[in-house]
Amino acid sequence: MPCVKLSLIVPQQEMRLVEETLIGHDAQSLTVSSAENETHLEHILHESPKWSRVRIDALFTLNEDIHVVLASLRSLGMEVSDVSFIGDELWQKTRAPQLKPLDFGGLRVVSREEPTQVTKAEVRLDPGLAFGTGEHPTTHMCLAWLANHPPKQLSVLDFGTGSGILGIAAKKLGAGLVDAVDSDSLACETARENALYNNAEIFVSERITAGRSYDLIVANILLNTILQFAPVLTACLKPSGVILLTGLLPGQLDRVQTEYSEIAFENTVELEDWRLLVGKKTNRREH
C-alpha cells in the first residue's frame, strides 16, 4: 500500500512530544534512530534512546492530510526535513525490520515468515498499514497482561483494534466471543485479513455492536478517544468486568480515572513513558 514518509530531526528531550503528535495524526509507523550516525535503535524496544538528537521517520496513508500534520509540527517548533512517497514494494521493505519476534511467556507474536513453535499460542502478523505490531509500549503492555491473565471463555472487546493483534491474541489465549472495533476501514480490513490468516474467529466492525456487553475491554488508543468513549465503554462492561486503558502518558491518568467513575482502577503498568490503567467495574457512581 503506497504511503507518505515524513522525516525530521528533533532534540531527544522533545522526542516523546513529537511521537504523541504524530500518533495523534494517525501515523501508521514510527521509527527512531540516531541523528548522529550512532547505532540504530527503534524507540519501541525497552529503553528510550540516549542520543542528543534523534531522527524520526513516520509513515502515513495517502488519505491523511499531510499539510495538517506539518502545521502541527511547526506549532511545536519542529520542521520536517524530508517528505517522500513510498510505493508498495518499498513499503514492505520499510515495515519488515519492525516485525521482530516477541515472547510473552505463553504467547508469541511473530511475522508470518517465522518458524512455528507449537508449545505456545501464536499470533502471526502482517500489520499492513494498521497500527499494532506488538512492539510499541502500549501494545506490548496489553499483550503481556493478556498472556499473564488468559481470558479463557471470556467475552472480549478490542476497541481501536488496528491490526487486530490484541483481539487475535485474546482468542488464541482462549477467549470466547471477541469483537474488534476500529473507526478506520483500512484497519478493519487489515484486522479481518490477519484474523483469517490466524484462524481466529473474531468479529471486526467499525462500530460497537448495540446491546452487547463484555467481561474484558482492551482500549489501546489515545487520551481524547478514551475520554470521548468513557460512557460507552463503561456501559459495555459487565459488572465486575475488567477494562484496560492505554495510550496514556503519566499526566493524563487522573483525568481518565475521573471520567471512568464506575471503574475501580487497581493497577497501573509502566513501560517507557507510557501507562496502562487496569480497572474493574463496580456499582459505585460518582456525582
How far apart, in whole angstroms, are the C-alpha atoms of residue 226 and residue 233?
9
Helices in the chain by DSSP H: which ranges? 15-24, 66-75, 88-95, 137-148, 165-172, 185-197, 223-228, 230-236, 253-259
Q: Are residues 270 and 241 in the same domain?
A: yes
Please check the confidence at residue 45 and state whether its pLDDT lies above 90: no
Residues 144 and 244 in one domain: yes
The answer to whether residue 287 sits within a structural domain is no
If you average pLDDT over residues 221-244, what whole number do you get?
A: 94
Within-domain flag for 286: no
Is the same domain home to 76 and 89? yes
Which one of 55, 81, 96 terminates a domain?
A: 96
- Give me the pLDDT at residue 213, please: 97
Binned at pLDDT 50, 70 and 90, residue 58 comes out as confident
48 vs 115: CA distance, rounded Å: 30
Residue 254 belongs to domain with CATH number: 3.40.50.150
Higher local confidence (pLDDT), 102 or 127 = 102
Length reported for the chain: 287
Final residue belonging to a domain, choices 51, 79, 96: 96
Backbone angles phi, psi at 258, to 5 degrees: -65, -45
Last residue of a domain, one of 64, 79, 96: 96
The answer to whether residues 136 and 209 belong to one domain is: yes
Predicted local confidence at residue 163, as pLDDT: 87
pLDDT tens for each residue of 239-275: 999 999 998 888 999 999 999 999 999 999 999 888 9
pLDDT of residue 285: 54
Confidence of residue 46 (pLDDT cuts 50, 70, 90): very low
> Of 9, 20, 13, nearest to 50 (Cα)?
13
pLDDT: is 198 or 59 the higher one?
198
Whether residues 46 and 126 fall in one domain: no
**91 or 16, higher pLDDT:** 16
Q: Is 213 domain-assigned?
A: yes
Give the pLDDT score at 33: 76
Same domain flag for 121 and 68: no
Residues 64 and 137 in one domain: no
Q: What is the pTM of this model?
A: 0.68
- Domain for residue 250, yes or no? yes
Record the cell numbers describing residue 261, joined without a space. 467513575
CATH code of residue 9: 3.30.70.120
Count of structural domains within the chain: 2
Decide if pLDDT at 113 tops 60: yes
pLDDT at position 99 is 65
Q: Is 58 a member of any domain?
A: yes
Say whether pLDDT at 38 is over 50.
Answer: no
Better-scored residue on pLDDT, 214 or 57? 214
pLDDT tens for 115-126 read: 776 667 999 886
The cell 521509527 sits on which residue? 31
Tell me how far the alpha carbon of residue 16 is from its chain's centroid: 16
Residue type at 280 in one-letter notation: K
Lowest mean pLDDT among 42-56, 171-185, 198-212, 263-277: 42-56
Between residues 100 and 247, the one the model is more confident about:
247
Residues 6+ apart with CB under 8 A from 211: none
Is 47 a residue whose pLDDT tops 50?
A: no
> What's the pLDDT at 243?
98
Three-state secondary-structure class, residue 252? helix
Tell me if 238 is assigned to some domain. yes
Greatest Cα-to-Cα distance within the chain, rounded to the nearest angstrom: 55
The answer, yes or no, to whether residue 210 has pLDDT greater than 50, is: yes
* CB-based contact 33:40 (threshold 8 Å): yes
What pLDDT score was predicted for residue 36?
63
Same domain for 242 and 166? Answer: yes
Are 147 and 271 members of one domain? yes
Closest CA to 246 of 135, 104, 139: 139
Q: Does residue 46 come out as left (phi exceeding 0), alpha (psi in the -120 to 50 range) or beta?
A: left
Q: Which of 46-55, 71-80, 111-120 has the lowest mean pLDDT?
A: 46-55
Whether residues 257 and 270 fall in one domain: yes
69 and 173 part of one domain: no
Q: Domain residues for 54?
A: 3-96
Would you call 53 exposed, middle or buried from its count of C-beta atoms within 10 A (0-12, 13-18, 19+)? Answer: middle
Give, as one character, the DSSP assignment of residue 176: S
The answer as to whether 15 is a domain residue is yes
124 and 91 in a single domain? The answer is no
Classify residue 212: in a domain, yes or no: yes
